[in-house]
Structure 1
Amino acid sequence: MQQQAVLLACSTESNITAWDLATATQLTQYKGNASGRGRVTRLGSDYLAAAQNSKDAIHFWTWHKDQVLQRCFTQEPLTALAASPNGAYLVGGGASGTLYCWEAFSGRLLRSWPAHYKAVSCLAFSDSGGLLVSAGEDTLVAAWLLAEVLDEQRDGPAAAAAAVGMARVEPLHTWSEHTLPVTCIYLGCGEGSALLATASLDRSVKLWSLTTGQLLRTITLPAGVTSVTLDAGEHVLLAGCVDGSIWEAPLAGQQLAAPAAAAAAAGGSGAAAAASDAAAAAAAAAGVVGGPGSCCYEGHSKAISSLEITPDGEQLVSGSEDGTARIWDLRSRQCLRSIASPNKAPVTAALLMAWPGHLGPAGSAGRQGPKRLQPLAALAKFAGAAGTSKPWEGALTVLDGSLCSNSSSSCSNAASTAAAVAGLLPGPLANPLDLLQLQGSVAAPAAANGGLINQQQQGSGQGSGQQQQQQDVAQLQQQVEQLQQQLQESRQVSGQWQALHGELHQFCTDKVLAAGLDA
């Protein structure tokens, strides 16, 4: 199995340290970081990104260098940061509740939109990166389709292009059942049918269905929840609280797991054990964790900032504001190893990762990077800026040659029409709908251009040119109508499949919950 490492990041100015999971020995460190909870993320396979506390900046590191590789500045302090699984997109949440989406390869700020009324507290991508979930201090949780975020047609026609990248995006789902700020979210496997867990300072963890948006279960804990995770099979929930405790709750049945010590303590008499079991069953049925028979991992003295389960499902890694990270055995619930952060600074992130094979086992001397790094450009601060792209580099433009006939005159007229329309649009040609809106303004520039070339042929040449341009525009309009009809048919089929998928998912959910209650 590939070597696993734990990355520790702190809220005060210090280094991000990498530790070997098996031996708790330090592998390397990355200098120049001070990031809060939920602001550190991996970007693809080659980079680490962290939003800084004291300045409106994002720092980037590559695994084989301990110095900051790149610094990018943002419009406001970022309170949350997440990257798509393939590293193509980076999303940050601001203190004002605004979400920012960058394209990592080009550095362009693709879109920024108001998503929350207060600061964004956490972000999470689905396995394929097609779904983004955000939560904020306004107690709201929202799910966003990445395709909707990247849809440039939301910016409207060229006449309203002054606010490029600022069009509002409508969420797929919005939940507002929490009563205090949401501190952590966990998005399971399954893309649109994934299980979503949200944790809040209101001492509750809520489980949601992304398919229907319905609340599946609410679990109440003894203290405010600051971190949450589920095992690979999504049978057991682990929640960390503000008092440093970590609670374990099974999701399949009603009876909560009890550690051996609690069972021994409750075994003083048969009546006492029966009363304890009855109280635990009643608490479990009500969705309450922390009563008799519940399971608690004790060792941290301050709030839990991070929880992650190892890929083999045998160990739990927890980070805490007490300046330590602990590795727990999930079977015995015992602490195997404890790792201290530099200068005992509060740990805000304890990330698990497969240590790159091209790096040495320890230290930074003699390390070499991969043969080819993933492209990374400096992030643009404002929408519409090209980042570090060259002036001639931009979005791909597909030219359809169906308008050109065999005769050279038709091709020339079509080319002049395209040139005239492109001259009217501010920037690259947006879509065929812009051609329809400029249908009345195409003929005049083209006719004027023809008059400048040859004034003697203005009478007959201009008339034929206008006629050909009108035919070209009519063909474009016909193509747009056909595309709109195909789009409508595709949406109908997609809606039918979505309805069938939702019914199937609800049926399976009811069966699983019924089986758990019967057990």
Structure 2
Amino acid sequence: MEVLVTTDHTPSSNTSVTIWNPSTGTKLLALKGPCATTGSLVLLRDEGLLIAEVGKPFVHLWQVGSPLQSSRRIICPVGQQKLGPMTASPDGNYIVVAISEKINVWQPATGRVVEVISSAHYRPVTVLQFTDDGTYLISGGADGIVSVWSFLKLVSSAETKPTYSWSHHTLPVTSLHVGSGGRKATLFTCSEDRFVKIYSLLTGSLVLSVAFPQPLHSIGVDRLERSFFVGGGDGTIYFFNLTNPPRGMEAQVTTSEDAVLKKHTTRVTALSISADEKNLASGDSEGSIFIWDLESRQAIRTIGSASSTGSKGPVTNIAFWLNDPDSLKGGRSGKKPTIFFPDVPKLIEGNEDDADGEELIKVWNRVDQGDDSDDTMTSSSSLYSSSSRGGDSLAKINQLKMDLAQAKETNRKLHEFCVTDIFNRIENSKHTDTQSNKRKNKSNKK
């Protein structure tokens, strides 16, 4: 079943994440916790979800198979700084969190910050997202720059320069969407400059630029990438059909009735399209959430509105999530988790280990559960031994990938050095022969 996950910024409320049934509009779960930062909701497949707490260096985890009414708080090892947008690699081994203009790559299982990109953007990072295969990490900032990073090179410290960097936007990038296809995917970005830019990650080129009448704050794209919706600053949701694209690289959307959805009265802060592409969920800056029928273009359901909940805070995150509602209730009847997080009050920082010289925890990874899965869940010693067995294999694979990337980089530098040295020797040899010939000619003339 597909559920709807939303967060809003209401300091007076003790609810951090709300899970709804989009078919009926009923509330399935209200997860207690702090307000979530915009763009920080991370859905770990069917395992659970993460958010970054507003104004504090804390990441909160709710995991399927455990009691979900209270979160587990993990201290992000980046100092006492406010966290911004956040995302996680598809395999769940790395979390990437933005702090102002810096991008931090963090491995929660060990608490280590693997890489810090200090010069990612000139102004604060506003959006972060991975491709579906984890090949690229995409970031957008308040400086209008969109950068594409090779994630393997980042974690192996082989290179900290973006593969692509585009500066077509003139105002802050507010939202982005990465299509399916890994390194061949299509990237959609929207900005307060009223433009949607569509890029090809395969070629690194701008494919299409679409202008709208209002500043844009959110974008939703269907799975087949046949159309997209963007939320405007005045509450209007605009529609653009990609099956009949313009002949040139530029297009413009007007306010005609067939191109807009009108129900919100304030800025549309979040959009998400269901997996079956029948419904669109939208949230605004007053806390109202609407479910739209995409065939009739009508708002068929209102959930979480400011009038019904008393909430006045903006909707900060909204996403459809394919999950079994029964597994969200926790307990023995729920789904057992296969990703294990370290159960420690504070994770270690940097590359330091504990006082005994042993690692605080092994590698956080999915592990196979056999007949003794119940014992794995009840015994901490068996849990960590099982986790370490699964983690050792992943650690070796990751280490081999890093070694391969470093070897390629070393080989490239060695090749450049050899070529340069050979050319220098040839040039020096030519110069020496020329000087020798001149001296011979002078002697012959005498």
User: Which TM bucket (shorter chain)?
Assistant: 0.7 to 0.9
TM superposition shift of 1:285: 8.9
Aligned equivalent of 2:299:
335
Does residue 106 (structure 1) correspond to residue 114 (structure 2)? The answer is no
* In structure 2, distance between residues paired with 1:366 and 1:234: 39
TM-score (norm 2): 0.73
Verify: 1:32 aligned to 2:33, yes or no.
yes
Report what 1:172 is aligned to.
Answer: 163
Residue from 336, 345, 350 that aligns with 2:318: 350
> What is the distance in 2 between the residues matched to 1:295 and 1:334?
12
Distance 1:53 1:144, change over 3 A: same
Partner of 2:94: 89
> Contact 1:34–1:54 at 8 Å: present in 2 too?
no
The change in CA–CA distance for 1:382 and 1:189 in structure 2 (over 3 A counts) is: same
- Other structure's SS at 1:149 match: helix
- Establish whether residue 134 from structure 1 lines up as the match of residue 139 from structure 2: yes
CA contact (8 A) 2:36 2:316 kept: yes
For 2:408 and 2:170, the matched residues in 1 are separated by 43
CA shift for structure 1 position 389 = 11
Q: Does 1:391 align with 2:391?
A: no
Counterparts of 1:299 and 1:393, CA distance in 2: 54
Taking the aligned partners of 1:126 and 1:313, their CA distance within structure 2 comes to 20
Structure 1 SS opposite 2:50: strand
Q: Which letter maps to 1:211?
A: L
CA 1:242–1:395 in 2, change beyond 3 Å: closer, same or farther? same
Match of 1:202 in 2: 193
| Contact 2:68–2:330, Cα closer than 8 Å, also in 1 | no
Question: CA offsets per residue over residues 103-159 of structure 1, 9 Å max, x none?
Answer: 23333211111111111100111111121100011111100111011104x4xxxxx
Structure 1 CA distance for aligned equivalents of residues 218 and 245 of structure 2:
22
C-alpha distance 285-33 of structure 1, shift in aligned 2 (>3 A) = same
Moved over 6 A (4+): 483-486
CA distance in 2, matches of 1:331, 1:389: 62
SS in 2 for 1:287: strand
Residues 322 and 335 (structure 1 numbering): CA distance in 2 closer, same or farther, change over 3 Å?
Answer: same
Q: Name the structure 2 match of 1:12.
A: 10
Q: Distance in 1 between matches of 2:207 and 2:171?
A: 19
Q: Tell me which of 287, 295, 309 is aligned to 2:251.
A: 287
Per-residue deviation at 1:367?
6.8
Q: Report % sequence identity.
A: 28
- Report the Cα distance in structure 1 between the residues aligned to 2:356 and 2:235, rounded to whole angstroms: 50
Matched residue SS, 1:359:
helix
Alpha-carbon distance, 1:291 to partner: 4.1
Paired position in structure 1 for 2:176: 185
**Higher mean C-alpha displacement, 99-108 vs 20-29:** 99-108
Partners of 1:370 and 1:228 in 2: CA distance? 32
Report the Cα distance in structure 2 between the residues aligned to 1:147 and 1:366, rounded to whole angstroms: 37
Partner of 2:123: 118
Letter of the 1:40 partner, please give it.
L
Higher fraction of strand: 2
Give TM-score, length-normalised by structure 1. Answer: 0.63
Q: What residue is the counterpart of 1:311 in the other structure?
A: 275
In 1: Cα distance, 2:355 partner to 2:280 partner: 43
Equivalent residue in structure 2 for 1:67, among 46, 70, 75: 70
Distance 1:148 1:371 in 2: 34
- 1:135 maps to amino acid: G
Counterpart of 1:296 (choices 260, 277, 280) is 260
Residue identity matched to 2:41: V
C-alpha contact 2:124 2:142 (8 A) present in aligned 1: yes
Does the 8 A contact of 1:107 with 1:376 survive in 2? Answer: no
Q: Secondary structure at the match of 2:251?
A: coil
SS in 1 for 2:85: strand
Return closer, same or farther for 1:395/1:323 CA change in 2, 3 Å cut-off. closer
Q: Structure 2 vs 1, CA of residues 384 and 173 (structure 1 numbering), >3 Å: closer, same or farther?
A: same
Deviation at 1:36? 3.0
Q: Which has the higher helix share?
A: 1
Q: Structure 2 unaligned segments of length 5 or more: list them.
A: 363-398, 416-446
CA separation of 1:47 and 1:72: change in aligned 2, threshold 3 A: farther
**Secondary structure class of the residue paired with 1:55:** coil
- Tell me which amino acid in the other structure corresponds to 1:312: D
Which secondary structure state, in structure 1, belongs to the residue aligned with residue 160 of structure 2?
Answer: coil
Deviation at 1:68, TM superposition (A): 1.6
Which of 372-381 and 129-138 deviates more? Answer: 372-381
Q: Distance in 2 between matches of 1:131 and 1:29?
A: 33
> Aligned pair in 2 of structure 1 residues 332, 65: CA closer, same or farther (>3 Å)?
same
**1-side partners of 2:409 and 2:148: how far apart?**
29
> Which entry has the higher C-alpha Rg, 1 or 2?
1
Check the 8 A contact 1:199/1:225 in 2, yes or no: yes
Counterparts in 2 of 1:209-248, with a 5 A limit?
209-248=200-239
Check if 1:370 corresponds to 2:335.
yes
Q: Which letter does structure 1 place at the counterpart of 2:318?
A: A
Report the alpha carbon displacement of residue 371 of structure 1 after superposing the two structures with TM: 3.0
CA 1:322 to 1:367, structure 2 compared with 1: closer, same or farther past 3 Å?
Answer: farther
CA contact (8 A) 1:44 1:374 kept: no
Task: Report how many aligned residue pairs link the two structures.
Answer: 359
- How far residue 302 of structure 1 moved from its aligned partner, in angstroms, is 1.4
Report if aligned partners of 2:85, 2:98 keep a CA contact under 8 Å in 1: yes
**Which letter does structure 1 place at the counterpart of 2:209?**
T
CA deviation after TM superposition for structure 1 residue 58, in Å: 1.7
What is the SS of the residue equivalent to 2:133?
A: coil
Contact 2:285 2:314 (8 Å CA) reproduced: yes
User: In the TM superposition, what are the counterparts of 1:359-438 in structure 2 within 5 Å?
Assistant: 359=327, 364=329, 368-377=333-342, 380=347, 382-386=349-353, 391-393=357-359
The one-character-per-residue Cα deviations of 1:434-479 (angstroms, maximum 9, x if unpaired) are xxxxxxxxxxxxxxxxxxxxxxxxxxxxxxxxxxxxxxxxxxxxxx
C-alpha spacing 1:204/1:70, structure 2 compared with 1 (3 Å): same
Aligned-partner Cα distance in 2 for 1:127–1:46? 17
Is the partner of 2:310 in helix, strand or coil?
Answer: helix
Q: Pairwise CA RMSD of aligned residues?
A: 3.1
Query: Which deviates further from its counterpart, 216-225 or 12-21?
Result: 12-21
> What's 1:48 paired with?
49
Between the aligned partners of 1:203 and 1:173, the Cα distance in structure 2 is 22
Q: Structure 1 residues 375, 391: closer, same or farther in 2, change over 3 A?
A: farther
Deviation at 1:356, TM superposition (A): 3.2
Q: CA–CA distance in 2 between the matches of 1:380 and 1:138?
A: 33
Distance 2:255 2:102 in 1: 39
Distance change in 2, residues 1:227/1:366 (3 Å): same
Unaligned runs of 5+ in 1: 155-167, 256-280, 397-430, 432-479, 492-519
Does the alignment pair 1:252 with 2:243? yes
Task: Provide the rounded CA distance (Å) in 2 between the counterparts of 1:294 and 1:367.
Answer: 50
How far 1:33 moved relative to its partner?
Answer: 1.9
